[in-house]
Chains A and B, each alone.
Chain A
Amino acid sequence: MKRGTIILILLIVVLVAIGFVAFSFLHSGVSAKATPTSLEVMMARKARHMALPSAARALTNPVVASEENLRDGRLHFADHCAICHGNDGSCDTMMGSGLYPKPPDLRLAETQKLSDGELFWIIENGVRFTGMPAFSTRHSSQEDSWKLVLFIRHLPQLTADERIEMERYNPKGPDDREEEKQEDDFLNGATPAPKPESHHHHN
C-alpha cells in the first residue's frame, strides 16, 4: 500500500475518533465517572506499549526476590501506592474508582504479562494522561522501584496475614484513625455501638 493511502486511511480513522470523542464529551461532559470504552482501552494500551522504550522493556530485576526485599516492597506499596491501587492491587479504592481511566487490577494478566522492565519503567516514569505519577524523583533509589516490581508479581498470591500487616502502614488522617479506633473498641466490647453506615471508608 502506498504511503499516501496509509496516511489518508489514518486521517479518516483519526477524524472518526475525534468525532467520537466530541460526541462523548457533549453527551457526558468531562466527567471521570464514566468507564472508558473498549476502543479507548485498546488504544491506550497500544499507545503505552509503543511509548515504552524497547531497552527498558528488556530490563531484568536486579533485586533478589528474598523475603526481606518482598516485605520492603509490600510496606512501601502500602504506604505510597495502596491509596489508589488498594493493598491487594484490585484498585477498589476511593481514588482508584474515581479515576479516568481507572487503574487496572494489578493481579490480572493485563498487568502481570508486562515484563519486569515495563513495570519498572511505568513506576519510574508514570503514564501521561492517567493518574499514574512518575516516582523516579521521589524514590531514594531505583532499588525501591524494583522492590515494588517484586511485590506486584507477588500480588496474586497475597496472603491475609500480609494484607493485615499492610493495613498498619496505610496513610490515614485523624478522622480515619478515630473511626478505626471506634470500630476496634466496638469489636472489643465497648458500648454503645457507633451509628451504622455513618462513615465513608477510603480504602
Chain B
Amino acid sequence: MRVRSLALFFSFVLLAGVVLAHGDKKHVIGTIEKMGADAVTVKTAEGSVDVKLVAGTTYIVVGADKVAKPAKLADLHVGDRVVIHATPKPDNTLEAAEVRFSSAAATAASKPKP
C-alpha cells in the first residue's frame, strides 16, 4: 500500500503545473477563387489565401433561407462565399477545421431586388 501511495504521489508531482495558454484559429473570409482536391484559394479583401482541406474538415452550407445545413466538399464551388475557420500550422500553412459557405446563387437570391 505504501509503495502504491509513493508511486501515486510522485506521478502527480510529474504532472504538476496547470497554466492556461492561448491557442487560436484564424478566420479566412472571402470568395472561392480556385479549388483543388485538397486545398482552396480564397480571394479576400487583402489578397489571396490558400487553405488546406483535410479529412477532418467539416462543411456547412447556409442556404437562401439562412438555415445552416451539413454539406460536403463537392457542394463547394468557385465563386461561393466562404468563412473558413483554419488552424495555423508550424509550416505557416492554414488547415481548415470548418468551411461555412453560401453558394453564389443563394447569395444572389437573398439580396433584395431593386
Given A14-B6, A202-B24, also A47-B15 (CB < 8 A): yes
- Give the distance in Å from the alpha carbon of A133 to the alpha carbon of B27 in the complex: 30
* B14 pairs with A17, CB closer than 8 A: yes
Q: How many residue pairs at the A-B interface have CB separations less than 8 Å?
A: 158
When distances are taken between beta carbons in the complex, the residues of chain A under 8 Å from B26 are: 197, 199-201
Query: Chain A 172-203 against B: per-residue CB contact (8 Å), 1 yes, 0 no?
Result: 00000001000110111100111111111111
User: What is the minimal beta-carbon distance from B23 to any residue of chain A, in angstroms?
Assistant: 4
When distances are taken between beta carbons in the complex, the residues of chain A under 8 Å from B83 are: 183, 186-187
When distances are taken between beta carbons in the complex, the residues of chain A under 8 Å from B58 are: 160, 163
* B23 pairs with A94, CB closer than 8 A: yes
Any B CB within 8 A of the CB of A138 = no
Any A CB within 8 A of the CB of B39 = no
User: What is the minimal beta-carbon distance from B104 to any residue of chain A, in angstroms?
Assistant: 10
* B11 pairs with A47, CB closer than 8 A: yes
Given A160-B70, A187-B62, also A47-B19 (CB < 8 A): no
* B15 pairs with A101, CB closer than 8 A: yes
Size category of the B interface is 35 or more
Given A189-B107, A192-B45, A196-B46, also A44-B11 (CB < 8 A): yes
- Give the distance in Å from the alpha carbon of A90 to the alpha carbon of B95 in the complex: 15
Given A100-B18, A189-B107, also A194-B3 (CB < 8 A): no
- Give the distance in Å from the alpha carbon of A7 to the alpha carbon of B101 in the complex: 62
Size category of the A interface is 35 or more
When distances are taken between beta carbons in the complex, the residues of chain B under 8 Å from A32 are: 17-21
User: What is the minimal beta-carbon distance from A2 to any residue of chain B, in angstroms?
Assistant: 13
Residues of B within 8 A of A (CB): 3-4, 6-8, 10-30, 42, 44-47, 49, 56, 58, 60, 62, 66, 68-70, 81, 83, 85, 87, 97, 100-102, 107-108, 110-111
Q: Identify the 10 closest CB pairs spanning chains A and B, nearest first.
A: A160-B70, A196-B44, A98-B21, A47-B11, A97-B23, A201-B25, A200-B24, A32-B19, A129-B15, A187-B102
Residues of A within 8 A of B (CB): 6-7, 10, 14, 17-18, 21, 30-33, 36, 40, 43-44, 46-47, 50-51, 90, 92-101, 128-131, 159-161, 163-164, 179, 183-184, 186-189, 192-203
